[in-house]
A and B are shown apart, each in its own frame.
Chain A
C-alpha cells in the first residue's frame, strides 16, 4: 500500500497499479476509453488526463495521463484541476469531430460509454463546421455488426481481439485520421470470442447483430442474472427479455469464473429459447400406431400423468446433466433412489464419477478460471479446450503470458499495467503450454509443444510425465515413441520449475486412463508444490451436479426396461439418442410409457407418448454446478408463455398429485433446494449459492426492470388494456417490475450493471471492490468441492495403465473413432440458434491422409462409416494431425448421433455394404 494524494486528500492504494485504476477503485469518476480493466493501459486516447504535481509546493503541475502514471508513494494528482478538466472536454470534442451523433438510431444508445463520458466531461457544443469522415462497413459474420463511422479509434477492439484473445484475422489498417478497424476483407470473424467486441467497444462500432434483429434498448430489457448452459464452465451471464422473447445475453462479471468476457457460444446460443419449434403445450401421442397428437388442455396433463404413473409397473427416472439440480432432485424423489438413473451413457457416467473422485478425494485443488489464467505452466491432456471449454481456452491464452511477464516485471521493472510496454518487451516469448490431444487445435499455435496421439497413448504420455516427476507414480511399461518421451521430459521439467503449474484434462477424450494420468501428474507435482492445480472439464453445464447426486448410467436403465423391471420412463431434459447406441435408445423408448420433458423436439420427444414443455434456462430458476465445483444460481428472466413450466415445478405438481408425503412442503425453489441439501449432504452448500427468496433490502425486492423501463402500462395492451398485475416470483428475491431496491444488490442477484452517469457495461467499476477485483460481497456462487489433505508418499496413484495404441489391421472394425468437438455444433441447444447455426460445419469424417490413401478415399469423397450399431455416409476430411488408425467423428453435428464414442468402427468406400443397423437420418 502507498499513500497518494488526489485533489489534496490522501488515500491508501495498492502500489502495482496506475493512477486511473486507483481513482476508479476509489469510486471516483474519471473518463477513459483506451484503458480497459482487463487489458490495462496504453495511453492512446488521452481522455484520462489529470494534473500531476511534483510535491505540495508545486502549484503549476503538468498534465499527465492517469492510466500511464504509476501509483507510487506520494503521487499527487488533481482530477478537478480546471486545465485538466478542459483538456478532457477537448479530447471528447476531438473524438466528436467525426462521430456521427446518430445516438437515436444507434444500437449502443443508452448504454454507450462515449455518451457517458461526453456527459461526464461536460462537452456539449460543436464548434467544427466541417464535413465528417465516412467509412465503408464490413460484413463480419452473424454475430457482430460493423458501423465504422462511429469509431473513436480507442484501439480497444484490436487489443482485445488480437492481443488478448489471439485473433489473427482482424486489425487496424491505414494511418492518421484514416485508421480503420476491421478485417482485410469482409468475412466471418474467426475468433470464438468475437462477440466481446460488442462490450469492449465503447461506442456503437461493434454491436450485437442478433439483438439488432429484434432491437430493444438496454433500459427496456427485463434482465436477470443467469448462468450459461452451453458448456461446463458456468460463465455468468445477464439475459434480457422484451415482449416475451429473449433478446440478448451479455457477460456478467464474476472474477473467479469468466471475468469480463464470454465466448460466442455463450453469447449467441440463447436463441434456441425463441425457436418456433419450441414445445409449448403438453401433448400425448397414443401408441402404437396412432400418430395423432392430442394436446392436453389446461388441467388435463397432470391427471393424465397421474393415471399413467398409477398404472405403471415400475417407473424409472432419467435425469439430465443440462437440467438444474432441483429438477434432477425431484425426479430422483419421484422415481426413488433405486430407480433414478443419471442421464449419462455408461462411458460418460464413469468419466464424470472419476472427475468427481479425483477432485474431491485427491489432494490437488481445482483451479478457477481466474487462477487458470494465472498459471505459469500448463499441460493439457486429451481435451480440445477451445471447443469443449472455450473460456478456459481464453484463460490459457493469458497463462502463456505469465512467465515472460514475470521476467519483464521483475527484471526490467516495467509495471504490469503498462500493457504495450510489457508486450513489446515480451515480443514472441510465451510461457510453457503443453498440449497432448487426439487432433490439432486452436491453441497449438501458442503451445511450447503439441503432440497428437490416440487416447491410450495420451494417457501413457501422461503417466510418463507423472513418473518422471515422482518415483511414487507407476512406471510406464512397453514402448513409448521418441516424440512422446521427449515431450514428457520437457513438460515434466517445465512443470517442476513452475510456481503455479496447472494440469488440464477432461471427459472430451472419452478415456478414463487419460483422466487418471492427469491426476497422477497433478498429484506427483503436488508432492513438491502445493500450488499445483487441476482443471477437469466436464461435458455439460450440470454434469458435476448430477454426478454428485449419483444414479446409475443409462445402460442400466435400458436393461431395466428390457428386463421388464419397469415399463414407464420419465426422461428429464435429455435426448437419450445422443447418449446411447441407436438400438439401446430404441429399446428404452419402446417402454410402455415414455414421458419426455424438454424445451425442443428431439428424437426422444418424438418417440415419447407424453411430452411436457419445460422452461429453458431463462424461463426458470435453479442451481448448476460447473467444472470448478462451483454451485451457481440462475434466475428466471421472464415468465414463459402459455403452458411452459419449469421441470421442477411439473415434477413437484406430480409428486403432490400422487400424494407423496412431504411434497406439499416443496412449494418454492428454496424448499426444494433445502430438501435436496438434507438428502444429499454433498450438495448442502448449494443452497447458499444465492440469497433466499425472502431476502429483502430495505424491505424491497430487486427489480428485474430498470427504472427507465418504458411502456409498462401499454406493453400488453393488445391483450388487455388494464395493466396486469406483475407476476409474483415466489422463488427469488427478484421482482418482475420496475419497483424495488435500486442500489447494489448482493453479487448473485445483480440483474444488470448500472450506476448514475454510467449506463454502459463500464458501470461494473462501481460494483467491484477494486477495479478488476471481485464484486463487492464476493464472487457469485459457492465452491462445493475442495481437495483432501494428504501426506507425501501416501497418495494412491492410479496404477492401471493402458498398453500402447495399436491400429487394428485385420479386424473388421479397423479404426478407432474418437469424438471431435466443434464450438458451434457439438452442443445441441446453442446449435439451434440461427446465428450459431450459420457456423455449424457440415458433417464429415476426419482421417489421416495416409489412412485415407490406403482406403482410396480422397478429400471430399463419400465414405461409409460403420459401427457395431449404426452406420453413416460422410464426406472425408483429411487431417494430418490425426494419428494413424484413428478417425475423428464430429459429434453433435446434424445427423451425427446414436453412437457412443470413442468406439471401434470401420471406414470403407460406400458400396461395400454390410448388414448393419441403418441409422435413418444419418449421413450428409
Chain B
C-alpha cells in the first residue's frame, strides 16, 4: 500500500528542505487551513469533537490520554457560556525530547490551526501557546505565523467571515523556565503568573483551568494532528497507524547513534526500525547497552525489547511508557551511574518543592548516586535507590514528576546493577568519571 509522501507524513511531509518555517501561503498550498474552513463552515463543534474522538488520537504529551474524550469534559451548552480557553503545551522540557520544537519551527501554522479547531470544538475564545523560553526560533516562527493569520482573518473576530461568528484570540506566552510548567496544572498556574506548582485533580482543568475557567491543555504534536483529522477524516487517520491508536508519531533518537534525529512514522513502528533503521544504529566504536524510550521519565529498555512496537499499550505492557516517543541511547562508554545522575539531578532540580517525597527524596537519590559514582558508596545504597524509587510511586506524590523520575531509576538499577556494584566494590568509577 503506498500513499503519497505527505499523506503518510501529514505532520512533516510538507516541511521545507531548508528548515525555514512554512509561510501561510506555503502552508495553504499543501491544504493548510482547509480543515478550519471546513469545520467552521460545515461542522458543528460537536461534530469536530466526535471526529477527533473517532480518530483515536491520543495525547502526545506523554500520558496518552484520548484527546476527543478530554475535550468532551469541557462543560458546554447554555449554562456554560465561558470564558473558556485552549492552551498548547509547548513547554517541551523533558530531557531527550525535541519533537514539538521541530513542528513549531517548521510548520507553525499547523499548530495554530489545530488550536483553532480545538477552540471551536470546545467553545473557547482565547488560546495560549505556552512556549518554552529557550525556544526562541519557535517563538519567532509562531509570532510571524500568528501575525499572518490575523492579517488574513484566520484569527481574531469572525474568522472566515460574519457567518461563522467564531472569534478567537491567540497569544504566545514565553515561559521563564521550569520543567513543572509542562505539567498541565503547573502550566496553568504559571500562565496565571504564579509559581508552577501542580493543582489538585479533580477538579480537572477542563472544569477549572486558566483563571478558574474551563481549559483544554494539549501537547503541540497532539494539536498538530487535529487539522489532518478534520480534513481527511477519522478513518484515514486511524489507517495511518499500525496500532490501536490513530495517526503517525514523531519518533526521535539521541545519543551515540549514527544519525540522531526525528522521523514521522506510523504509530507502532518498532524500536529497532527507528533506532537501527532510521538512526543508523550505534556509532562505530560504541556498543548498545540500553535506551529510555520516550524522554527522561520512562523506564530503561534493553536489547530484548528492541522489537517492541512504539505505541502506548505495547510499551506499557513491557513495563515502560512511550512517553514523548523520543528515545535516548545508553552506550557502553557512558557510565550508567553517571547517566542516572544526570537524569536524577534534572528531576531533583526541577521538583517544584510542593510535596515531600519529591522535594526531599530526589536530592537524597542524587546524593546517594553521587557517592556511588565517586567510590564512597555502600552496597545498601543500591537498595536504598530501589526503595526510594518504589516510594516515589504514582499517587504517593502530588503530581507525576517524581514518579517519572522513579521510572528510569528503578529500571536503571535493575538492568545495570552490576555496574553499580562495581563502583562500590572498586571504590571508583570504572568509566573514570571520578
**Direct A–B contact in complex, judged by CB atoms less than 8 Å apart:** yes
**Which residues 5-54 in A have Cβ within 8 Å of B in the complex?**
42-47, 49
The smallest C-beta distance from B155 to any residue of chain A, in angstroms, reads 27
Complex partner residue of A46 from B208, B367, B398, CB under 8 angstroms: B398
A425 B348 Cβ-Cβ under 8 A: no
Residues of A within 8 A of B359 (CB): 94, 153, 176-177, 179
Interface centre among A152, A176, A414 (most CB of B within 10 A): A176
A425 pairs with B203, CB closer than 8 A: yes
Contacts of B53 in A (CB 8 A): none
List 4 additional A-B contacts (Cβ < 8 Å) besides A177-B359, A424-B199: A43-B200, A95-B360, A97-B364, A177-B348
Interface flags for A142-159 (1: CB within 8 Å of B; 0: not) read 000000000011010000
Query: Is B64 on the interface with A (CB-CB < 8 A)?
Result: no
The residue in chain A whose Cβ has the minimal distance to the Cβ of B388 is A90
Q: Could you list 21 examples of A-B contacts with CB < 8 Å?
A: A43-B200, A46-B356, A49-B396, A63-B393, A94-B357, A94-B359, A94-B360, A94-B361, A95-B356, A97-B363, A97-B364, A127-B384, A130-B364, A153-B356, A153-B359, A175-B180, A175-B195, A175-B352, A414-B202, A414-B208, A424-B199
CA distance A119 to B384 in the complex (A): 23
Assess whether B199 is in contact with A421, with CB atoms less than 8 Å apart. Answer: yes
Interface residues of B in 318-360 (CB under 8 A from A): 348-357, 359-360
Question: Which of B178, B211, B348, B357 has its CB near the most chain A CB atoms (within 10 A)?
Answer: B357
Cα separation A130 to B348 with both chains bound (whole Å): 16
Q: Which of A64, A98, A174 contacts B360 (CB 8 A)?
A: A98
**Which residues of the partner chain A approach B356 to less than 8 Å between Cβ atoms?**
44-47, 91, 94-95, 152-153
What are the residues of chain B within 8 A of A426 when measuring CB–CB?
Answer: 212
- Across the interface, name the chain A residue whose C-beta is closest to B205: A424
Count of A residues near B, CB < 8 Å? 40
Q: Is B207 on the interface with A (CB-CB < 8 A)? A: yes
Cross-interface CB contact of B200 among A68, A94, A178, cutoff 8 Å: A68
Interface residue? B172 (CB, 8 A):
no
Once the chains bind, are B357 and A176 in contact (CB under 8 Å)?
Answer: no
Number of interface residues of B (CB under 8 A): 36
**Is the CB–CB distance between B212 and A155 below 8 Å?**
no
Contact present for B360 and A412 (CB under 8 Å): no
Q: How far is the CA of A63 from the CA of B398 in the complex (A)?
A: 12
Cross-chain contact B195 with A46 (CB below 8 angstroms) = no
Chain B residues whose C-beta falls within 8 Å of the C-beta of A427 in the assembled complex: 211-212
Assess whether A328 is interfacial by the CB under 8 Å rule: no
User: B395 within 8 Å of A by Cβ?
Assistant: yes
- Pairs A-B, 4 closest by C-beta atoms: A94-B360, A179-B353, A176-B351, A427-B212
Q: Which B residues are CB-close (under 8 A) to A412? A: 203, 207-208
Q: B393 to chain A: which residues have CB within 8 Å?
A: 63
> In the assembled complex, how far is the CB of residue A131 from the closest CB belonging to chain B, in whole angstroms?
9
Chain B residues lying within 8 Å of A152, measured Cβ to Cβ, are 356
Whether, in the assembled complex, A632 has its beta carbon less than 8 Å from a beta carbon of chain B, the answer is: no
**Residue A172 CB within 8 A of the other chain:** yes
In the complex, A152 Cα to B359 Cα: how many Å? 10
Does A418 make an interface contact (CB < 8 A)?
Answer: yes
Contact of B398 among A43, A94, A98, A127 (CB under 8 A): A43
Which residues on the B side are within 8 Å of A127 (C-beta)? 384
CA distance A414 to B200 in the complex (A): 11
A134 at the interface (CB under 8 A from B): no
Cβ-defined partner of B364 (8 Å) among A46, A128, A175: A128
**A82 CB to nearest B CB, Å:** 14
- Residue interface bits A121-133, CB-to-B below 8 A is 1, else 0: 0000001101000
The answer, yes or no, to whether B12 is at the interface (CB within 8 Å) is no
Q: Which of B202, B353, B395 contacts A64 (CB 8 A)?
A: B395
A350 interface contact, C-beta 8 A: no
A177 and B367 contacting across the interface, CB-CB below 8 Å: no
B353, A421: Cβ atoms under 8 Å?
no
On chain B, the residues within 8 Å of A90 by CB distance are 357, 391
Bound together, the chains give a CA A97 to CA B351 distance in angstroms of 16
Say yes or no: A44 contacts B203, CB within 8 Å: no
> In the complex, are the beta carbons of B208 and A44 less than 8 A apart?
no
Whether a CB of chain B sits under 8 angstroms from the CB of A62 is yes
With A and B bound together, what is the CA distance between A425 and B395 in angstroms?
A: 23
What are the residues of chain A within 8 A of B391 when measuring CB–CB? 87, 90
Give how many A-B residue pairs fall within 8 Å (CB-CB).
103
Contacting pair B353 A174 (CB below 8 A) = yes
Residue from B200, B351, B360 within 8 A of A420 (CB atoms): B200
B398 touches A130 (CB 8 A): no
Contact A45 B200 (CB under 8 A): no
| Chain B residues whose C-beta falls within 8 Å of the C-beta of A414 in the assembled complex | 202-203, 208
A418 in contact with B361 (CB, 8 Å): no
Q: Which chain B residue shows the least CB distance to A426?
A: B212
**Quick check: is B69 within 8 A (CB to CB) of the other chain?**
no
Q: From A62, which residue of chain B is reached at the shortest CB distance?
A: B395
Tell me, in angstroms, the Cα distance from A90 to B207 when the chains sit together: 34
Q: Are A421 and B203 in contact (CB under 8 A)?
A: yes
CB within 8 Å for A424 and B357 given contacts A44-B398, A175-B352: no
**B397 close to A (CB within 8 Å):** yes
Report whether A420 and B195 are in contact in the complex, using a CB–CB cutoff of 8 Å: no
Taken together as a complex, chains A and B put the C-alpha atoms of A90 and B353 apart, in Å, by 17
Chain B 161-195 near chain A by CB (<8 Å), digits 1 or 0: 00000000000000000101000000000000001
Is A94 a contact of B397 with CB atoms below 8 Å? no
How many Å lie between the Cα of A152 and that of B354 in the bound state? Answer: 11
Least CB distance, B379 to chain A, in whole angstroms: 14
How distant is the Cα of A280 from the Cα of B163 in the complex, in angstroms?
89
Q: Mark A715-749, 1 if CB is under 8 A from B, else 0.
A: 00000000000000000000000000000000000
Q: Nearest CB to that of B376 among chain A residues?
A: A129
Give the chain B neighbours of A46 by CB distance below 8 A: 355-357, 396-398
Instruction: Chain B residues near A172: list those with CB within 8 A.
Output: 195
- A420 to B399, alpha carbons, bound, how many Å? 14
Q: How far is the CA of A537 from the CA of B367 in the complex (A)?
A: 58
A529-545 interface (Cβ within 8 A of B): none
Complex contacts, B397 vs chain A, CB 8 Å: 46
Expressed in whole angstroms, the Cα–Cα distance for A676 and B195 within the complex equals 60
Alpha-carbon separation in the docked complex, A153 to B358 (Å): 12
CB <8 Å contact, B367 and A130: yes
Chain B residues with CB below 8 A from A91, complex form? 356-357
Residues of A within 8 A of B362 (CB): 176-177
Cβ-defined contact, B199 with A43, below 8 A:
no
- Give the residues in chain B near A42, CB-CB below 8 Å: 200
Q: How far is the CB of A104 from chain B (nearest CB, A)?
A: 24
A172 to chain B, nearest CB (A): 7
- A176 near B348 with CB under 8 A, answer yes
Bound-state Cα–Cα, A63 to B352, Å: 22
Nearest-neighbor residue (CB-CB) of A42 within chain B: B200
Task: Provide the residues of chain B in CB contact with A98, threshold 8 Å.
Answer: 360
Docked complex Cα distance between A174 and B395 (Å): 25
Task: Give A153 to B371 CA distance when docked, in angstroms.
Answer: 26
Known: A127-B384, A176-B359. A155 touches B354 (CB 8 A): yes
Q: A64-B395, A97-B364, A128-B364 are in contact. Are A175 and B353 (CB under 8 A)?
A: yes
**Complex Cα spacing A98 to B359, Å:** 11
A-chain residues with CB within 8 Å of residue B195 when the two chains form the complex = 172, 175
CA–CA, A412 to B397, complex, Å? Answer: 25
Minimum CB distance partner of A97 in chain B: B360
Q: List the A side residues contacting B212 at CB < 8 Å.
A: 424-427
Instruction: Give the residues in chain B near A176, CB-CB below 8 Å.
Output: 348-353, 359, 362-363
Q: Which residues of B contact A63 (CB under 8 A)?
A: 393, 395-396
Give complex CA distance A177, B353 in Å: 6
**Beta-carbon contact of B199 and A420 below 8 Å:** yes
B351 touches A175 (CB 8 A): yes
Contacts of A177 in B (CB 8 A): 348, 351, 353, 359-360, 362-363
Which residues of A52-84 have CB atoms within 8 Å of chain B's CB atoms? 62-64, 68
Known: A44-B356, A62-B395, A153-B359. A175 touches B348 (CB 8 A): no
Q: Smallest Cβ distance from A512 to chain B, in angstroms?
A: 44
Closest Cβ of chain A to B351, distance in Å, is 4
| Chain B minimum-CB-distance residue to A46 | B356
| CB proximity of A32 to chain B, nearest CB, Å | 12
Contact at A421–B367, with CB atoms within 8 Å?
no
